[in-house]
Amino acid sequence: MMQEDMRVLAHEEIADQIFKLKLEGEMVQTITEPGQFVHIRVGGESQSIAPLLRRPISISSADPSTKTMTLIYRSGGLGTSLLSETKIGEKIDVLGPLGHGFPVDATPLKGKALVIGGGVGVPPLYGLSQALIERGVHVTHVLGFRSAKDVFYQAEFEKLGRTIVMTEDGTSGKQGRVTDVLDSVDFDAAYTCGPIPMLRALEHAITEKPLFVSLEQRMGCGIGACMACVTHTTDPNDAKGYRRVCCDGPVFKAREVELC
């Protein structure tokens, strides 16, 4: 974990309010797993005090050979709107890499993985899929979005493996929810990130095979010290009874913790 002013190499809107941000810096060399995240201080240079807190954003993909990493985020609130104004060449205060990501070795070498994403839960799954493919794993992606204007990275995922895009209104791909197509896919392990109702449905649907879920939670420190981001374990006899999403997660085994 380190704090670094990382240089913006590219920054563009790739779907409605969805931005792709490419950063360069030494931190990239210290990323250990897909699904880790960074904590970004927005507007730190401007001396303004709002927004005060850092914003957690997943690392979508990383390339240690060029010391670059890509983040994909939705601009909406105070911090992310300000972030979206950052220009190429400027620097951004980044703390990371943080947390524990997806265990790629839960899928056997040359096995089959199912990767399921919803909305802005999709970004970390791209780096995950790349890492799985490096292990010779055959990956199927199911990506859910609200509407055609929200879809991003479809072509990128298609290059890595079979990709089923679903939209709630049917304006792109198939109409419906990600859970509608699970029966058609054969897999050894599944990985998911997205809205809570989707995670809940998947924890219900996938019980025979390993499933890993990535959670979101409001954060303070992002490094395990403030106890803002905790969630209960489902096991009432667990020694601690809770996990911190920022450092014990954000990725957990399905049903290990309560979905917050």
Partner 1 sequence: MLDVHLPGLKLKNPVMPASGCFAFGAEYSNLYDLKVLGAVTIKAATLAPRYGNPTPRVAETPGGMLNAIGLQNPGVDEIIRKELPRFEENKVPVIANIAGSEMDDYVLTAEKMSQQSAVNALELNISCPNVKHGGITFGTVPEVAAELTAKVKAVSEKPVYVKLSPNVTDIVAMAKAVEEAGADGLSMINTLLGMRIDLRTQKPVLSNLTGGLSGPAIKPVAIRMIYEVSQKVSIPIIGMGGIQNADDVIEFFLAGASAVAVGTANFVDPFVCPKIITELPEKLNAMGVSDINELVGRSWKK
Ligand X SMILES: Cc1cc2nc3c(=O)[nH]c(=O)nc-3n(C[C@H](O)[C@H](O)[C@H](O)COP(=O)(O)OP(=O)(O)OC[C@H]3O[C@@H](n4cnc5c(N)ncnc54)[C@H](O)[C@@H]3O)c2cc1C
Ligand Y SMILES: Cc1cc2nc3c(=O)[nH]c(=O)nc-3n(C[C@H](O)[C@H](O)[C@H](O)COP(=O)(O)O)c2cc1C
Q: Which residues bind ligand FES (CB under 6 A)?
A: 219-222, 224-229, 244, 246
Which entry of ligand Y, ligand X, partner 1, none binds 67, CB below 5 to 8 A by partner kind?
none
**Are 177 and 153 spatial neighbours (Cβ–Cβ below 8 Å)?**
no
Q: How far is the CB of 47 from ligand Y (least distance, A)?
A: 18
Member of 120, 151, 160, 230 binding ligand X (CB under 6 A): 120
Nearer to ligand X, 97 or 250 (CB): 250
Annotated binding residues, written as ranges, equal: 55-58, 72-74, 79-80, 221, 226, 229, 246
Which residues from 59-88 bind partner 1, rule CB under 8 A?
A: 78
Peptide bond between residue 250 and the one before it cis (omega within 30 degrees of 0) = yes
Q: How far is the CB of 9 from partner 1 (least distance, A)?
A: 24
Binding mask 178-217 for ligand Y (x = CB under 6 A): ----------------------------------------
Q: Which residue has the tokens 């880790």?
A: 36
Give every CB contact of residue 98 below 8 A, 6+ residues apart in sequence.
1, 36, 37, 38, 39, 56, 222, 223, 246, 247
Q: Which residue has the tokens 């109702």?
A: 197
Residue 226 touches ligand Y, criterion: CB under 6 A: yes
Binding mask 39-58 for ligand X (x = CB under 6 A): ------------x-x-xxxx
Q: How far is the CB of 191 from ligand X (least distance, A)?
A: 14
Burial class (CB in 10 A: 0-12, 13-18, 19+), 95: buried
Binding mask 202-231 for ligand X (x = CB under 6 A): --------------xxxx------------
In whole angstroms, give the CA distance from residue 248 to residue 67: 26
Residue 243 touches ligand X, criterion: CB under 6 A: no
Residue 195 touches partner 1, criterion: CB under 8 A: no
* Positions that interact with ligand Y (CB under 6 A): 220, 226
* Positions that interact with partner 1 (CB under 8 A): 1, 3, 41, 49-54, 78, 95, 217-232, 240-242, 247, 260
